[in-house]
Amino acid sequence: MRHAFLIMAGKIDETLLEIIHQLDSRQHDFFIHIDLKAGLIDEQRIEEVVNFSSVVFIDRMKGTWGGFSLVKIELRLLRTASTKHEYAYYHLLSGQDFPVKTNQRIDDFFAQNKGKNFLEVSDRLKNQNPDRYRLRYQQYHFLQDRFIGKKRNIFKYIDFFRAMCSDILALIGRGKLRFSLDLSGLALRMIWYSIF
């Protein structure tokens, strides 16, 4: 049973190298995206810790936390891996997700659970903080990928002000608006998963 490990990392550091070293196996291949914001990278550092797996680096782009750019990176990783080989599982990891089980235990677990997807879907936020949950689907931050990822950035405040204004306009126009959207079944998904 072959596994593709899709790794989204901010940089090549000792943690990432150790993750790859620990997961290295004839049954495991790596598809890696290193954030463009990391600058020049030395891909050789990763290839030096791998003895059995193949390693594929995908075209780099800037990834912004909470931005659509992360979805684009995830899709690039999936597309690249699925065209290289038909894997039993695709595991999306960050460059900080250190394995806590041996390769044998990981392989055995997925062999025993073949045909099952593993991803967390939760309505925890809906129950804990309904207002913040509502903001996840009612507001769209147009500047998220371009400017928001930077700390103390004026565009961050402009974007949040624009989102608040759209909320106020929605409240003002609510009496005239005859549109209803049922999002009662909406749940949040953790970004990391293992799917077949």
DSSP string, 138-174: H---TTIIIIITSTT-HHHHHHHHHHHHHHHHHHHHT
CA Rg, the chain, in Å? 20
Q: Which residues contact 114 (CB under 8 A, 6 or more apart)?
A: 1, 88, 196
CA atoms within 13 A on the CB side of 49: 18
What's the mean per-residue pLDDT of the chain?
A: 80
Q: Could you read off the pLDDT of 38-91 as tens digits, one per residue?
A: 999 999 999 999 999 999 999 999 988 777 888 899 999 999 999 999 999 999
pTM for this structure?
0.74
99-129, pLDDT tens digit by residue? Answer: 999 999 999 999 999 999 988 766 666 677 6
Amino acid at 146: R
pLDDT tens readout for residues 147-177: 555 566 666 666 666 666 665 655 555 444 4
Give the integer Cα–Cα distance in Å for 152 and 67: 17
